[in-house]
Amino acid sequence: MPQPTRTLILLKPDAVQRGLMGAVISRIEARGLKIVGMKLLQVDDALAHRHYSAHVGKPFFPGLLKFITSSPILAMAVQGENAVEVMRQMMGATDPAKAATGTIRADLGLAIGRNVIHGSDSPESAQTELALYFKPNELIDWRRDTEPWITES
């Protein structure tokens, strides 16, 4: 049986401001993934630069920086079998207009710059990104009694 993995999920300022946190969390839990860490926080310039370091210097970076620091975000550590891949599929394409029907971005977003959610793109980036937002003692290993109904043992 595959071991559960973890991924970082951020509900961006547009999701928080539009009152979509509960709707997205419900989708994650309904899929069978487990939240093992969660916090509402205000991203400052330093954290934004660390998180989006690959985009520093690109034409869209100033707008991204302004957006991600404009309002609180909800950071979540999500765990489950193939958590990174499952969440990427659930989120849909970065551009909501190109995202598959039924995905979070297709259902809740209209523009690339306001696409509601961020998720790690690989298990390696998940580890790096989780460490930006959570200390090890902020992630809880817990047993959900419904696990045998969600995954095969």
Positions marked catalytic: 118
Q: How many CB atoms sit inside 10 A of residue 54's CB?
A: 9
Measured CA to CA, the distance from residue 110 to residue 116 in angstroms comes to 9
